[in-house]
A and B are shown apart, each in its own frame.
Chain A
Amino acid sequence: MNALASHRRHPAAIAILLLFGLVATGGLYSLLAPKPAQAAVATAGDVNAGKKLFLANCATCHGLTGLGGLIGPNLAGVGAASVDFQVGTGRMPPTGPTIQAARNKNVKFSDEQIASLDAYVASLAPGPSIPDDQQAKGDGNVAHGNELFKVNCAMCHNFAGSGGALTLGKFAPSLRNVTGKHIFEAMLTGPQSMPVFSNNNLSAADKNDVISYLHELDKNQNPGGLSLGNLGPVSEGMFIWIFGMGLMIAAAVWLGSKAA
């Protein structure tokens, strides 16, 4: 320890510290970076089973009849697509009181249970139904999807689909590694702060193109590594201010110091 302390003013100490910081940041990032979630396949649901599940898990907020309670909104007319999105991505039931329910890898229900819930809520009033697998397959025109994404989605979800901040703690989530079905449902129903992009605005084929583009983004590898979250000037600027300018200052100090 004394040997270490006596060398703390050594010219190389800054460089070693910087290197250590870089390695630690990179290592932590690769440990903590989100991993892809598993896809779910829906099966035909049973309204009665769905009602039981609803009463047990959802009625506290959404009311015994699903028409809205003290906290939760009215679910009549939101449609099966909305339920499938909210429950299938683990957003519902929420784990605690938050401004915005976030995607949760631990989906609380099995595929059959979700299908039953979908069927029950869809039976309350007609609403958007779950897209079939073919519609959200992601085999469309990637270039057209990119164009649509830039006009309609990129301002909130970021040019690389990394998500971004909204007002008062709300946020647009990352769109990386989301199943085509869930992306389709989100556009169709406009969950939470997101506006609705009905099939009259973006047709089903257009939605498939957007999904194709997002899937292409997921497949894209980053030649430079260390994407810094693809968040744009904030994270990149921070990196270069700290590490780039730190190295410059270290070099300037070394150039200006006299030889022994």
Chain B
Amino acid sequence: MNENDREPEEAQVSQPGTAVRLDQGHIQGSGGIPERFSNPGVPPHVHRLADIDEQAARRAERQVATLFGISMVATVIFLVAYFAIDQKTYRFIPGIGQANLSNVVLGVTLGLSLLCIGLGAVHWAKTLMPDDEVAEDRHRQRSSDEARGEAVETIMAGGDASQVARRPLIKYTLVGALGIVSLPPVLQLAGSLGPLPKADLSTTFWRKGMRLMRDPELTPIKASEVTIGSVFHVMPEGIDKSEHLLEQKAKAAVLLLRLEPKDIKVPKERNWGHEGIVAYSKICTHVGCPVGLYEQLTHHLLCPCHQSTFDVTQDCKIIFGPAHRPLPQLKITVDSEGYLVADSPFREAVGPSFWERG
């Protein structure tokens, strides 16, 4: 059925009282507003092809049955394929590429069997089930006056029988008990919010004298091992024994790099490092992603989440992206055995901004 065939039919059914189509010209008004608008009622029901043509109805029936039939066939194929196809077989499937055959066949057949049940049901509802609009009036909700009076009497009689009005001691203690018993749930709710954060957001695991350890092996790093252009991913010494390991790791992650000392443009950066070895917090000051993409030639540190770019030669100044503060530097030095150690904790809070941060 084409759209062009349908239009004349629709033109015939539009009568006075129905909505005027935009392309049907203009109806002359009589001027003024009527006293009362009459209920326009439900628009006239347009019969579907299957309502008036028995042959079309039978065709729709066949279509619905075919869809349900496809669903059954697909389910049977699923059941057979479940046992018949080896789970380790890989085949080239057009449009999908090299894929696990069992996986694809089971997915496609089960999807098809469920989809065809849905398609059949919707097609059935659209073509054969009645589509007349029916109005059903609301029931009266208010009970009769007698019933309402009776209910009030029953409640008052019950109140008298329980002697609640005559014995105020019971009345007041009951109110008190019910009032107080609401406190335990409130207390539990407030208590389960956990301890106050205190300074947790501003401090990390790093303390003066802690060795810088390779992540994930947690072996100490000698200054002489950090060659120019190297990157070490670093955790503080003893972090594996910390009580809240993941929280501490998330704050304490540090990136250790070595530059030519002459490439470092900021004196503070040079002084806080050791012969061109510098350590910076790996936690982005934007939303806390690990800033790990170091470009050896340009000395740019790139955050993979939102492309904030920090220039390591300028004390990790932001040169691009949404971050607003440079990465905090960890002051490092070497101990008597030549291992790199922290010379102080982080001097400022690492990671993204938070409410109380200065």
Query: Measuring CB to CB, which residues of chain A are less than 8 angstroms from any residue of chain B?
Result: 6, 9, 22-23, 25-27, 29-30, 33, 147-148, 151-152, 155-156, 164, 166-168, 170, 172, 190, 192-198, 200-201, 221-227, 254-255, 258-260
- Are B296 and A196 in touch, CB under 8 angstroms? yes
- Are A225 and B96 in touch, CB under 8 angstroms? yes
Separation in Å of the A14 CB from the closest CB of chain B?
15
- Are B295 and A193 in touch, CB under 8 angstroms? yes
Separation in Å of the A62 CB from the closest CB of chain B?
16
CB nearest neighbor in B for A200: B225
Q: Does B304 contact A (CB under 8 A)?
A: yes
- Are A164 and B295 in touch, CB under 8 angstroms? no
Task: Show 16 residue pairs from A and B whose CB-CB distance is below 8 angstroms, ordered by the A residue.
Answer: A6-B2, A22-B95, A26-B94, A26-B95, A167-B298, A167-B300, A190-B230, A194-B296, A200-B226, A201-B214, A201-B231, A222-B99, A223-B99, A223-B100, A224-B103, A259-B127
Q: Does B204 contact A (CB under 8 A)?
A: no
- Counting from the closest, the 10 A-B pairs by CB-CB distance are A225-B99, A26-B95, A155-B292, A200-B225, A225-B96, A223-B100, A195-B231, A193-B295, A259-B126, A196-B229
Separation in Å of the A2 CB from the closest CB of chain B?
13
CB nearest neighbor in A for B301: A167
- Are A23 and B99 in touch, CB under 8 angstroms? no
With A167-B309, A201-B214 already in contact, the answer to whether A225 and B295 are too (CB < 8 A) is no
- B320: chain A residues at CB < 8 Å are 167
Beta-carbon contacts under 8 Å, B273-298 to A: 290, 292-298
- Are A151 and B215 in touch, CB under 8 angstroms? yes
Chain B: interface residue total (CB-CB under 8 A): 52
- B228: chain A residues at CB < 8 Å are 196
With A197-B230, A201-B232 already in contact, the answer to whether A259 and B49 are too (CB < 8 A) is yes
- Are B100 and A167 in touch, CB under 8 angstroms? no
- A30: chain B residues at CB < 8 Å are 92, 97
- Are B227 and A200 in touch, CB under 8 angstroms? yes
- Are B294 and A225 in touch, CB under 8 angstroms? no
CB nearest neighbor in A for B118: A251
- A260: chain B residues at CB < 8 Å are 1, 6, 48-49, 56
- Are B98 and A156 in touch, CB under 8 angstroms? no
- A164: chain B residues at CB < 8 Å are 304
With A164-B304, A190-B229, A226-B96 already in contact, the answer to whether A155 and B48 are too (CB < 8 A) is no
- B302: chain A residues at CB < 8 Å are 166-167
Q: A224 vs B96: C-alpha distance in the bound complex, in angstroms?
A: 8
- Are B50 and A225 in touch, CB under 8 angstroms? no
Q: A215 vs B230: C-alpha distance in the bound complex, in angstroms?
A: 24
- Are A155 and B126 in touch, CB under 8 angstroms? no
Separation in Å of the A230 CB from the closest CB of chain B?
12
- Are B297 and A193 in touch, CB under 8 angstroms? yes
Q: A25 vs B93: C-alpha distance in the bound complex, in angstroms?
A: 13
With A23-B95, A167-B320, A224-B99 already in contact, the answer to whether A193 and B298 are too (CB < 8 A) is yes
Separation in Å of the A171 CB from the closest CB of chain B?
11
Q: Does B82 contact A (CB under 8 A)?
A: no
Separation in Å of the B263 CB from the closest CB of chain A?
14
Q: A27 vs B126: C-alpha distance in the bound complex, in angstroms?
A: 37
Separation in Å of the A204 CB from the closest CB of chain B?
14
- Are A195 and B257 in touch, CB under 8 angstroms? yes
- Are B122 and A255 in touch, CB under 8 angstroms? yes
Separation in Å of the A94 CB from the closest CB of chain B?
15
Q: Does B40 contact A (CB under 8 A)?
A: no
Separation in Å of the A195 CB from the closest CB of chain B?
4
Q: A201 vs B277: C-alpha distance in the bound complex, in angstroms?
A: 14
CB nearest neighbor in B for A191: B296
Q: A22 vs B96: C-alpha distance in the bound complex, in angstroms?
A: 9
Q: Does B3 contact A (CB under 8 A)?
A: yes
Separation in Å of the B181 CB from the closest CB of chain A?
49
Separation in Å of the A69 CB from the closest CB of chain B?
17
- Are A156 and B292 in touch, CB under 8 angstroms? yes
Q: A223 vs B96: C-alpha distance in the bound complex, in angstroms?
A: 10
Q: A258 vs B216: C-alpha distance in the bound complex, in angstroms?
A: 62
Q: A26 vs B294: C-alpha distance in the bound complex, in angstroms?
A: 34
Q: A259 vs B52: C-alpha distance in the bound complex, in angstroms?
A: 13
Q: A255 vs B121: C-alpha distance in the bound complex, in angstroms?
A: 11
CB nearest neighbor in A for B235: A151
CB nearest neighbor in B for A172: B293
Extra A-B contacts (9), CB below 8 Å, given A190-B296, A196-B228, A259-B126:
A30-B97, A148-B216, A167-B298, A167-B302, A201-B214, A201-B225, A225-B96, A225-B100, A258-B48
